[in-house]
Amino acid sequence: MSKKYSKFLPTSENFNLENFPFYWITQVHAQYVLNVDHVLKKYGVDNSRRRLLIALEAKPHASVSDLSDMIVSKMSTTTKIVYRLKDEGFVNTYSCENDARITRVHLTESGKQMTHKINDLMAIVLEQSFEGLTPLQIEKMMESLKHIFKNLAP
């Protein structure tokens, strides 16, 4: 490992957990999920359902595999979430015309309404999260996170 990153690693002689970048990434994510779950509780939706609904809004009629990639989740987990949402009336599924092995998912009218409610609540969490930061700072942070993700992705 090159020395330029050594101060960020737990193997460093004077290691401080607060200097470990992934500590902060997990802390921010965990707090975000807690806040999101709290505001979504009144609609009976949890963070995993929210993530899938938002992904489906961004990519209508996505395959379960596409959704799995988008929410960075195992196929089996994504499939379970899809069928929970289907049982709740938020999504429907159908077999792809070109390849019956592929299951496609789309939002129902109820799912679209729930997604709009979720987006309204997410705006509140987003504003709270980024208070004191400029849009440019947020864009720079997102660029850095995307870069790290690309470095880590297979």
C-alpha distance from residue 10 to each of 15, 16, 37, 48 (Å): 6, 8, 31, 31
Which pLDDT value is given to residue 134? 96
pLDDT in tens, 14-60: 777 888 889 999 999 999 989 888 888 888 898 899 999 999 999 99
Predicted pLDDT of residue 36:
87
Contact 102, 65 (CB under 8 A): yes
2 pLDDT tier (thresholds 50, 70, 90): low
Check residue 10 and give its pLDDT: 75
What's the pLDDT at 26?
A: 93
Tell me the pTM. 0.77
Instruction: Compute the distance between CA of residue 40 and CA of residue 34 in angstroms, rounded to an integer.
Output: 10
CB 47 within 8 A of CB 33: yes
pLDDT above 70 coverage of the chain, percent: 98
- Per the CB < 8 A criterion, the answer to whether 17 and 28 are in contact is no
Which DSSP state fits 95?
E
Query: Which tens digits make up the pLDDT trace of 128-153?
Result: 999 999 999 999 999 999 999 999 98
